[in-house]
């Protein structure tokens, strides 16, 4: 009891005098921040889990070179008649992948910006005949396994909507925790000026008997690769 009274008296004196508090014998340490790599690994794991839960397929985390090899191998598994690929977002990997697919003997379609309505219609018609569409996502949303893709003249919405098989890659530093983080990363001006597509698994719908059917209104399959740059 005497020790308690002594402690109270010390605290009271320190507060009244504005003096610093006596040092504690066992100071409380500040929380150790989560390492950047560990945080990214956590986001990737959650994204992969949620993607698989909605019917997508997570192919893994690759260096740019390994990602190119994996996409070429994937194309060889399906032997597509035509592969459509749009421009990249954060990397030049799309050009590298297109070159590798061309070297492997696949027929390629690259979109080009145009303001002519007939030319745009011709692009859509040819895109609809492509067996695989390859695109880079602007962001991946870990909480729902969703991919956010901004439409551009060289990366139109039809690229991720018309081909029956969709292959999408995204940089690891563009995986964000939730939709709010993705919207914040885009910024209001970008969202106001461009169309954004949110892709959560393959296209699915239910008939009158509530049977799920894949690929009725979009791609029947969705494969996703995460790219970890060499210099990261």
Say which residue, 66 or 211, is predicted with more confidence.
66
Is the pLDDT confidence value at 140 over 60?
yes
Count of C-beta atoms within a 10 Å radius of residue 182: 25
Instruction: Evaluate if pTM is beyond 0.95.
Output: no
Report which DSSP code applies to 173: G
46-82 burial: b if 16+ Cβ within 10 Å, else e: bbbebbeeebbbbbebbebeebbebbeebbeeeebeb
CATH homologous superfamily for the domain 35-227 = NagB/RpiA/CoA transferase-like (3.40.50.10420)
The fraction of the chain above a pLDDT of 90, given in percent, is 54
Domain boundaries, the chain: 35-227
Share the mean pLDDT of the chain: 82
pLDDT in tens, 80-128: 999 999 888 766 678 899 999 999 999 999 877 767 778 888 888 898 8
Q: Is the pLDDT reported for residue 59 higher than 60?
A: yes
**Which residues lie across from 108 on neighbouring strands?**
83
Name every residue whose Cβ is closer than 8 Å to that of residue 76 and which is 6 or more positions away in sequence. Answer: 104
Q: In a 3-state reduction of DSSP, which class is residue 196?
A: strand
Query: Residue 145: left (phi > 0), alpha (psi -120 to 50), or beta?
Result: left
For position 94, what pLDDT does the model report?
86
- Please say whether the beta carbons of 72 and 78 come within 8 A: no
Q: Give the count of alpha carbons within 13 A of 103, CB side only.
A: 11
pLDDT grade, residue 202 (50/70/90)?
confident
37-57 pLDDT tens trace: 778 899 999 999 999 999 999
Query: pLDDT value at position 26?
Result: 40
Q: What is the largest CA-CA distance in the chain?
A: 92
* CB proximity list for 162: less than 8 A, separation 6 or greater: 124, 127, 128, 130, 133, 218
């Amino acid at each position: 009891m005497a020790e308690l009274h002594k402690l109270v008296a010390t605290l009271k004196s320190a507060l009244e005098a504005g003096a610093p508090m006596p040092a504690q014998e066992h100071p409380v340490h500040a929380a150790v921040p989560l390492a950047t790599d560990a945080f990214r690994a956590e986001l990737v794991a959650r994204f992969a889990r949620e993607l698989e839960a909605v019917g997508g397929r997570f192919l893994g985390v690759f260096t740019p070179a390994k990602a190119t090899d994996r996409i070429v191998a994937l194309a060889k598994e399906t032997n597509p008649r035509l592969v459509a690929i749009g421009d990249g977002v954060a990397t030049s990997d799309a050009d590298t992948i297109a070159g590798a697919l061309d070297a492997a003997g696949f027929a390629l379609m690259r979109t080009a910006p145009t303001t002519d309505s007939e030319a745009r219609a011709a692009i859509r018609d040819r895109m609809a005949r492509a067996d695989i569409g390859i695109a880079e996502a602007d962001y991946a949303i870990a909480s729902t396994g969703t991919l956010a893709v901004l439409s551009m003249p060289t990366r139109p919405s039809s690229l991720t909507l018309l081909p029956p098989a969709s292959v999408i890659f995204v940089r690891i530093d563009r995986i964000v925790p939730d939709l709010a983080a993705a919207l914040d990363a885009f910024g209001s001006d970008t969202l106001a000026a461009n169309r954004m597509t949110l892709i959560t698994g393959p296209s699915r719908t239910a008939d009158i008997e509530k049977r799920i059917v894949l690929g009725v209104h979009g791609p029947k399959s969705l494969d996703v690769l995460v790219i970890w740059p060499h210099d990261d």
